[in-house]
Every structure is written in structure tokens, then in C-alpha cells.
Amino acid sequence: MKLESKIYVAGHRGLVGSAIIRNLQKNGYTNIVYRTSKELDLTNCQQVDLFFTQEQPEYVFLAAAKVGGIVANNDFPADFIRDNLMIQTNVIDAAHRNGVQKLLFLGSTCIYPRLAPQPMREDSLLTGELEATNEPYAIAKIAGIKMCQSYNRQYGTNFISVMPTNLFGPNDNFDLDSSHVLPALIRKFHEAKINNTPTVEVWGTGTPKREFLYSDDLAEAVIYLMNTYDGDELVNIGMGKDISIKELAEKIGKTVGYDGEIVFNTSKPDGAPRKLVDIGRITSLGWEAKIPLDDGLTMAYTWFLEHIEKSTLSIH
């Protein structure tokens, strides 16, 4: 990408999209286009076609998606598979028909089998059953990968796919009903601290292990890959290290300054036992994560205090 290349970031207000825009701007890219969901409904084929025809972007970061944690995935499976399939199909097809030079599709590590060998390699895709709690979302993301590969094969496009591990950072979703585990815990521990609540409940046994990557690290990785990587093979993006939910809860409690007790509700689902990605491919391509988990947690909590605590979601 040249600094003046026209770059479209789909999903620019979300956790991933906003981090990509911050990184592009920091690195001097000046011709970035984006639309809010009110201005452009990516599930609407006609609106997407019109946007691409009018704007003619040269590069596309497809970070728009309907995302959520275990509760949201369990309660709204039809929404997750439908909306994600529609968004991907519309954007990828419009990118092809309008001659986009390169598109980067953001998937998720939930595409890998529930019991995939750890750490999860890119070639474990479609080798076993998916985790039931987010299967509709995972199937949509797998379809996006296969769509990119199929368009490359049939039309000679340059569409690449990346699989980030669990992400967190500015513009994360801190809603307790629909968020992922890390932002939900930040919210829970903060509210317990403010209300002097003696215990904080954490879902499950605390034993599952998860890997977490700060969103600004991910943004740096995808811009690096957009500029350096061409190929059909998907690329994992992660830290290469994981942590148990119990350890994560303890770290967040410490970051927030909560000194009560952590209680694990073992009647609630754990999800997959472990999700660590193999980062051999991206490391061999010349990129590695830079922001340690503890630093990322401090930055994420600071952002929460500055934006969420002061918003209408505030408990005060």
C-alpha cells in the first residue's frame, strides 16, 4: 500500500477496525474511507455495490462482523451465521467486481476444531468438530476463508485471510450480556470494586486456557501482512502464550484494584478447553507481538475508565 492508496476499513468503529485505522493514521496513510452501519448496511447487497462503485477502494480490510461471547452466540445463533455470511459475501464479491487490488479477511480462531492439537496450526482447519457454543459463527468465518481462496483460484484475486486469537483493547464491548470474557471481567471487577461487593462470579471452572492479544498489536500485524504477504494459506496472529481463566481473573482483579474473593460458577459452560495458536507462520514472515498482557490489561482498563465508566453504561 502506498501512503495515498485508497483504503477501506469495514467495521471501523469496532475493536479491530478502530485499531487498524489508528495504526494506518500513525503510519501516514492519508486516504482511508469508512462508513458507519447506519450509513452503509453491509448485509444489504445493493448498498455495498453502490459504495464500491462510487468509492473504488484499492485495498480492503474486512473487519466488520457480528461478534459476541458464549451467551450471545448461544442466544442468537441464527443472527450470527446469517449476518456474518451476508457481510462477507457482499464485501468480498463487490471487491472482486470492482477490481480491488487486495483484501484482507479477518477470521477467528474459533474456526479450528474444538479438540485441535495445541497450539493450533493453520492446517488443522476442517479436521474435526467445532466448539458447539459458537459453531454458527465459526461456520460463517470458515465460509469467508473458503470464499477468498475460491475467488483467488477462479478470478485471480489477491484476497488473504488471517486468524487472530482473542483480542482486547480500546472500543471493546464491555456489555455483560454480549461481551467476551476479558472485557466482561474488567467490567465485573470494576463494578464489584465500586460497590464493595465481597465476591465476583466467574463462569465455569477457571481451568480453560486462552490466549489474548492487544488490538494495536493485531492492527500492526494485519497492515504488515497486507504489505508483505500474498497467498491462499491463512495466517494465525497471536502471542504464542496462553493463560488460564483463573489466572486471567486474578490479573484483572489486581489491575482493577479489587481485593475481594473470586468465585467460579461451575454450572456455567467452559467452552473449549484450550485455544492457543501456532504462530510459526507469521513469525517466519517477520512479525511478532510486542505488547505484554499485563501492559495491555492496564491500557484496556484505563480506556474503560475514560470511556465506558463515563458513558450511559455507568453504574453511578
pLDDT tens across 118-160, in order? 999 999 999 999 988 889 999 999 999 999 999 999 999 999 9
Q: DSSP of 13-62, one letter per residue?
A: TSHHHHHHHHHHHHTT---EE---TTT--TT-HHHHHHHHHHH--SEEEE
**What integer pLDDT is reported at residue 311 of this predicted model?**
61
Among residues 277, 282, 269, 280, the alpha carbon closest in space to that of 223 is found at 282
Positive or negative, the CA dihedral 194, 197, 202, 203 is negative
| Residue 316 annotated in ligand binding | no
For residues 231-236, average pLDDT: 96
pLDDT attached to residue 274: 85
Of the candidates 106, 112, 110, 109, the one whose C-alpha atom is nearest the C-alpha of residue 87 is 106
Q: Is 108 annotated as a binding residue?
A: yes
Q: What is the mean pLDDT of the chain?
A: 93
- Average pLDDT on 55-70 reads 90
| 316 — pLDDT class (breaks 50, 70, 90) | very low
Give the rounded distance of the alpha carbon of 161 from its chain centre: 13
Comparing 70-74, 216-220, 240-244, 287-291, the range with the smallest average pLDDT is 70-74
Inform me whether the pLDDT recorded for 312 exceeds 50: no
Written as one letter, the residue type at 246 is K
Q: How far apart are the first and last CA of the chain?
A: 46
Please compute the mean of the pLDDT values over residues 291-311 and round it to a whole number.
91
Residue type, 49: D
Whether residue 17 is annotated as binding a ligand: the answer is: yes
CA–CA dist 119, 25 (Å, integer): 33
| Active-site amino acid positions | 137
Q: What is the pLDDT of residues 23-47, one digit of tens each?
A: 999 999 999 999 999 999 999 999 9
pTM over 0.75: yes
Counting every residue written for the chain, the total comes to 316
Query: Is residue 141 within 8 Å of 81, Cβ to Cβ?
Result: no
Q: Which of 279, 281, 304 is nearest to 213 (CA)?
A: 279
Instruction: Read off the DSSP letter of residue 99.
Output: T
287 has binding-site annotation: no
pLDDT at 15: 93
Q: Is 187 annotated as a binding residue?
A: no
Instruction: Examine the pLDDT at 208 and tell me if it is beyond 70.
Output: yes
* 107 annotated as a binding-site residue: yes
- Which class in CATH covers the domain with range 7-307? alpha beta
User: Is 16 among the annotated ligand-binding positions?
Assistant: yes
CB within 8 Å of 242: residues ≥ 6 apart: 209, 210, 211, 274, 275, 276
Q: What is the pLDDT of residue 116?
A: 92
The reply to whether 188 sits in an annotated binding site is yes
> Domain coordinates of the chain in residue numbers?
7-307
Percent of the chain, pLDDT > 90?
Answer: 85
Answer whether residue 236 shows pLDDT above 60: yes
pLDDT at 309 over 80: no
Model confidence over 123-133: pLDDT tens digits?
999 999 998 88
Residue 315 has pLDDT above 70, yes or no: no
Q: With bands split at pLDDT 50, 70 and 90, how would you rate the model's confidence at 187?
A: very high
Q: Is the pLDDT of residue 222 over 80?
A: yes
The residue that leads in pLDDT, 134 or 49, is 49
pLDDT for 262 equals 96
Contact criterion met (CB below 8 Å) for 276 and 242: yes
Task: Kindly state the average pLDDT of the residues 72-97.
Answer: 93
Alpha-carbon 124 to chain mean position: 20
Bridge partners for 264 per DSSP: 202
212 pLDDT more than 90: yes
12 annotated ligand binder: yes
Question: Where residue 211 falls among pLDDT bands split at 50, 70, 90?
Answer: very high
23 labelled as ligand-binding?
no
Amino acid letter for position 126: L
